[in-house]
Structures are given as C-alpha cells and as structure tokens.
Amino acid sequence: MHGIKGGYFLAASLALVMSFVAVAAGSGGQPKPTPTPPPPAGPPAPTLVLPASGASLVQPITLDWNAVSNPNGPIGSYTWQVGTTSAFTKIIASGFTDMDPDASVPTPTADKVSGLPNGTYFWRVKATQLVGGAQGSVDSAWSAVRSFTVTGLGAAPASPVFSTPATNASFHVREFFNIKWSAVAGAHYYLLEVDDEPSFSFPLTLTTNALTFGTQAEAGWGNALANVYYRVRAVSADNVRSLPSATLNVHITNAAPVPAAPALVAPVAGASVSLPFFFDWSDTANPQVPGYDLDVDTDPNFAGSFGVLLLSGVTRSDDMITSDLLAPGNYFWRVRALHGEVPGPWSGGRAITVTAGPATPAGFDLFAIIAEPGNGYGGNSTQARVMLNQPAPAGGALVTLASDIPQAQVPSKTVTIPAGKTDVMVSPVTTGPAPSNGIIGVLRAAYGKGWQQSSLGVLPILFGIELSNESVVGGTSFTGTATLQSAAPPGGITVRLVSSDTSLVRPPATVFIPGGATDADFTIATSAVSVPTRVTIDPGTESDSGVHQFQVSVVVTPPGSPTPPPSLSSLTLSQSAIPAGGTVTGTVKLTSPAPPGGAVVSLQGSMEGQVITPPSVTVPAGSVSATFTTTSAPEVNAPHWVFIGARSAHSMGRKRASSG
C-alpha cells in the first residue's frame, strides 16, 4: 500500500546575467549557425524469448522477452502487440509494462494474454527509453516477429450476452443509458471494451472504464458519434479472459427518436390543491438527471416563451410546490422529458386551482431540516431531523417533506411535530441504488409560507483496502483489510479482489463484510520470486466499479533482500463505539522499529467537520508502536460513523469508530 509522502518547497532567486561572447563569422561576415545536436540513439530492440516461434498453446499465454539497456537513459516501458497478420494490420491484443517508481523493482519483461479465438497470431515488442529534455523519450525498433497458434481457451469463462440496449439503438448527445449483459458462471469481473470501428483493432480509442464488477455499466457521450461499438468479456479470478461477446452497435445523434411525453398523474384535471402540494407525472422510458421541465401558466395555450413558472431540469418525476413559487390562483400545467441535449414533446396541459395552505400561528416558522447522517452509503438508510423555531402549537405542526433525487425517498410526504415539541425525526430516509460516482441532492421541508432544505448524498459504500505491508518476502503471507464508508447494510457487502498476478499474490477472490460491520481482514498468500516484483490488487463491489479507483500494490522480494524502511502496519482503536463526550485510544503499529529520531505518523479524524484526533503521533526510535487519544466526541442526534485515519511516509492505515 502506498501513502503520500510529505514534501516541502524550496524557493531561490535566479539572477539573469547577460554576457557577450565572440561569434565566429562565416563567409560574407554572417555568423555560423550552431548545429543542432542529433537526437539520442534509441535502445536496441528487445529479443523475444517465449513462446517459441510456431508454438501451439492453450491460454493464458505468457509473452516473455529480454530486457534492453542504453546509456542514454532508463527503459520506461515495454509495449507488446499481437496481430492477426505479420504486418500487424489488425492488432487483436496489446499491452505494456511500466518502469516502477521503486528503483529496486525492474521493469517487467513478461505479460500474459488470453481471450483469443483459436488460430495463428504474430507478436512483437518494443522498448521506450526515457531521455529527458524536449524529446522526452525514444522508442526502439520493434523486435523480430514471432508466431504462435492458439489451440484452446483454457480455464476461461463463457462469453456474456448483451441484453440491452438493442443493437443499432440511437441516443442523444449527453443522454446516458445503461448497458446490461448476462451473468456468466466463473466470471470474477467483466471488461467492457468500446471502439469507434467494429474490428476492435488496438488501441481501443473509446474505452474509458473497462473494469466492471457487476453486469451493467452506464454510458453516455458528449458529442455526436456515427457508430459506437461495444463488446464485453468475462474474466476469471486468475485473469483468464473469455472470448468477446457479440458486438453491440449504437449511434449518438440528436436525430435519435424521442419517446412520447410523460403522462400527468396529479393533480387531476380541475382539482383544487392547497399549498404546499406536489406535481406528479410518469417517468419517461430512459429517465435522466436532470430529467424534466415543468411549466405552469395562466394561459391554456402556454403562449410565449415563459409563463408563470418554469422549473428546468427537475431531477425526478414529482416536485413539491411551495408558496414562494406559486400564488393562489387558476393555472394550467404541463411537463416534458429531457433526453440529453434534446427535449421531448410537452404533455397536454391540465387545469388546476391553487389555494392558500392552512394558516399557521403567528411567529411559528420552520427552523431547519438536517439529514443525520448526511450521506446514505451503498443503499443504507439515513434520517432527518425537522425543527421549528419554538415548540409546536396545540394540535402540532404538519410539515410537508420531499426529496429532489430519485435515489432518496422520504417515508411519507408529511410529518407532524407534536404539540409542545420543537422537532421530530423522519426515519427511515431510504436510499439507493447508489450511482457509481454518487449523487448529491436535497431533502426539503415546508411549513406555512416557509421551507428549508438539507443536502443528502447517495454514495458507493466501499472506502478501499489497506495492506499490512508494502513489501513482503515471497512465500510469506500478510494481511489486508477491506473498509467501508459506513456500516454494511443488513444483508452485508461482498467485496471482490483482483490480483494482477495470482501466481505471485493470492488474496481471496471475495471478502464478505457482514451487516453492521465496517471492515473485514483477510490473509494474502505469496509465492517465491527471483527478482523484486510489484503486484497490484483492485477491490470493488457491483456499485464501485472503476478504473483502478482503489488500487493498492505490494512488492514481492526474494529472500535476502534489504529490509524496507518501516511503514504503517496497522491502526487499531480501543473500542468500536463511544458516546457523545467520550474518547477512544488509538494505537499505530509499524512494520519494523522506528529509526533514530522516531517516526511521525499523521492522523486524521472528523465528524461533521469537527476534528477529533491530534494532528500526529510519534513512534519513538526503536519502538514499533505508539498510542494517541481522541478529543471528546461532539453531541449528536443520531449515530455517526467517524473516519479515523493514519499515514506514515510509506503507507496508510485506516480504522473506524462510531459515536452516538
């Protein structure tokens, strides 16, 4: 696991001195131009090692080549290609290996390929050398070409099948849509490949988010594209790829058809409604965020560009109307759906009569609505506290409630603050499903002629994983921890783990975090190596797919390697829950004794913006651990999960405590 090393800035002044030198003159008295130095020579081409030319193989296939060197600079990467012809007119697979930030770890000279149909292929490798200066880098020539023949898929899963959308479907610019496919037995994750031409010859120019842990992905494009081609592969826990699915072709054009207008639901035609009230309509076939325009006018023909009220970009198929938006009167209302850059047709208009809401006693106003906690993670429910500026009058205070995003639902549209009470809890506020990038909306409360709102996030639940070591000797085991943003929901959460090389680093394929827990530890086995090798681990859940969003890594070393500098091994807390006003003791532990002068471990921990940890703790020289005590937990109206984190110069550990 890698932390962020601390740093500092150095400032210095630079004097610019003009000097004069003699310039040799050529014929005619003109100065001779300074010759441009030749570009540095590139490195030699790599030599292919395995597979032998003409070999017949079952997948996965290891591609191996010799390292190259050149005095002009280090080798920054190797790039390999597999083509269907020796001229590489179609590149069916491609990859690269990069120079490691740790100078003791050599740039890998091997990679694996799978997911190829049976047949004969050709492969080659080139090196890229870092030379600095304006040129930056220089490539070697391609290696000599070798061929190999694929005779079987090996332990590959079956190919998925797309279920939606239908091929040749069209969508508008900036209109998002879901791509879904069948689940495949033995699939650990899926790779969604996207290109602008149907042969999928590498590089795949439109692929942006390949690694997917569920069986769907959201897509959308910010410009018109005549053709977008999709295919998906299932991948085993050992990273063996299936053959690709059949190709799905969609078109991104603002000439795409639009569905019929939404159907108006409520108020019904001719209804009389009192403020505050809700407009409600049916969802369009592919609802967007923002998704609708709501138009209210006194003219049944809605003449002109603007009537009495136009709410643009409403995010769900209902909306609460308060007295500051509409005065009592007779109106007509209509709705249209938004499809990216293209609005759909307006619905027919409907007549309604709006009347003033029930009178409220003078001096009684809505003070606030506060979501506590302010985020719902992974489908977890939250709650909200609704408050008046003074105790409710006789008969209580009827407050109207609303959410402005489809991923959050209040339990009912009204709640009563009992007479003599200043507040009431609204629970549960249900959330989900959480979009992969999350969404932030608001909860609204209205009483009398006033209203208040509170922000509410609906976010993925995975925080990430941490490793007990950033370097281990091959053949030994170490520990990882999967951590959530909040307690797992009642059914628990399954976190999938993807090792980039399961022959060297083998975490469990999945880690289950039971309902109510925030983390789970797991053991990772390793194998012996002859040279230091970095292996990455990608975690994810079905709603946390991403491009290595939470990736961590470990360096596997051979026996006798130098001992790495001490890094943070663990952070533990003396208790998992504390009441308001209480404190908790934390312990940080290093992988080896702290050096002379000690090791400073940075701390962070806050709840609703209130810091509850000291800024750092120092592990004394020669020791492997140190303790710290949090400040008193603040008063809360509902349980809150508090993040407490620690960071050393080489790694980061994280644990959680709850306060309530």
Three-state secondary structure of 245-312: CCCEEEEECCCCCCCCCCCEEECCCCEEEECCEEEEECCCCCCCCCCEEEEEECCCCCCCCCCCEEEE
Please determine, looking at this structure, whether the domain spanning 264-355 carries the CATH number 2.60.40.10.
yes
Residue 547 has a pLDDT of 47
pLDDT surpassing 50 at residue 437? yes
State mean pLDDT over 413-424. 97
Q: What is the 3-state secondary structure (H, E, C) of 127-152?
A: EEEEEECCCEEEECCCCCCEEEEEEE
pLDDT digits (tens, 9 = 90+) for 259-277: 999 999 999 999 999 999 9
Under CATH, what is the fold of the domain 48-152?
Immunoglobulin-like (2.60.40)
Position 554 scores a pLDDT of: 94
Taking 80 as the threshold, does the pLDDT of residue 31 lie above it? no
More confident residue, 9 or 171: 171
CATH class of the region 373-455: mainly beta
Share of the chain above pLDDT 70, in %: 90
Note the pLDDT tens digit of each residue in 134-146.
888 999 999 999 9
| Dist. CA 278–CA 409, nearest whole Å | 14
Task: Decide which of 136 and 421 is more confident.
Answer: 421
**pLDDT computed for residue 544 by the predictor:** 66
One-letter amino acid at 536 equals T
Amino acid 18: pLDDT: 31
Q: Are 310 and 327 in contact (CB under 8 A)?
A: no
Backbone angles phi, psi at 88, to 5 degrees: 55, 40
Give the model's confidence band at 110: pLDDT under 50 very low, under 70 low, under 90 confident, else very high.
very high
Does pLDDT of 498 surpass 50? yes
Q: What is the pLDDT of residues 499-555, one digit of tens each?
A: 999 999 999 999 999 999 989 999 999 999 999 999 999 999 887 655 456 889 999
Summarize the confidence of residues 431-457 as an average pLDDT. Answer: 93
Split at pLDDT 50, 70, 90, the class of 654 is very low
Residues 6+ apart with CB under 8 A from 165: 171, 177, 179, 248, 250
Domain 565-660: state its class: mainly beta
User: Which carries the bigger pLDDT value, residue 647 or residue 213?
Assistant: 213
355-381 residue pLDDT tens: 999 999 999 999 999 998 899 998 899
Strands 450-459, 375-377: pairing is parallel
What fold characterizes domain 460-564?
A: Immunoglobulin-like (2.60.40)
User: Tokens representing 158?
Assistant: 């079956």
Task: Supply the pLDDT for residue 651.
Answer: 53
Find the DSSP H helices in 566-616: none
Tell me the average pLDDT across 239-260: 97
pLDDT tens digit sequence for 564-623: 788 888 888 888 788 888 888 989 988 889 899 898 988 887 665 666 888 899 999 999
Is 17 a residue whose pLDDT tops 50?
no
Written as one letter, the residue type at 399 is: V
Band (485; pLDDT cuts 50, 70, 90)? confident
Higher pLDDT, 450 or 485: 450
Which range (126-130, 203-207, 259-263) has the least confidence?
Answer: 203-207
Using the predicted structure, report yes or no on whether residue 5 has a pLDDT greater than 50: no
Residue 644's pLDDT band, with cuts at 50, 70 and 90, is confident
Rounded CA separation 55/250 (Å):
39
Distances (CA, A) of 315 to 287, 379, 412, 580, 623: 9, 19, 19, 37, 56
Give the model's confidence band at 4: pLDDT under 50 very low, under 70 low, under 90 confident, else very high.
Answer: very low
Range with top average pLDDT, 17-26, 198-207, 439-448, 536-545:
439-448
**11-32 burial: b if 16+ Cβ within 10 Å, else e:** eeeeeeeeeeeeeeeeeeeeee
Name the band, by pLDDT with cuts 50, 70 and 90, for residue 3.
Answer: very low
Least confident interval from 82-96, 434-448, 583-597, 631-645: 631-645
Number of H helices, E strands in the chain: 0, 53
Q: Which residue has the higher pLDDT, 645 or 203?
A: 203
User: Does the pLDDT value for residue 313 go beyond 90?
Assistant: yes
Predicted TM-score (pTM) of the model is: 0.86
Q: Is pLDDT above 70 for 23?
A: no
Checking if the pLDDT of 93 tops 80, the result is yes
pLDDT at 189 > cutoff 90: yes
pLDDT at 296: 97
As assigned by CATH, the class of the 162-252 domain is mainly beta
Between CA 660 and CA 658 the distance in angstroms is: 7
pLDDT of the residue at 38: 64
* pLDDT average, residue stretch 6-32: 36
Q: Where in the chain do CATH 2.60.40.10 domains reside?
A: 48-152, 162-252, 264-355, 460-564, 565-660
- pLDDT of 19: 31
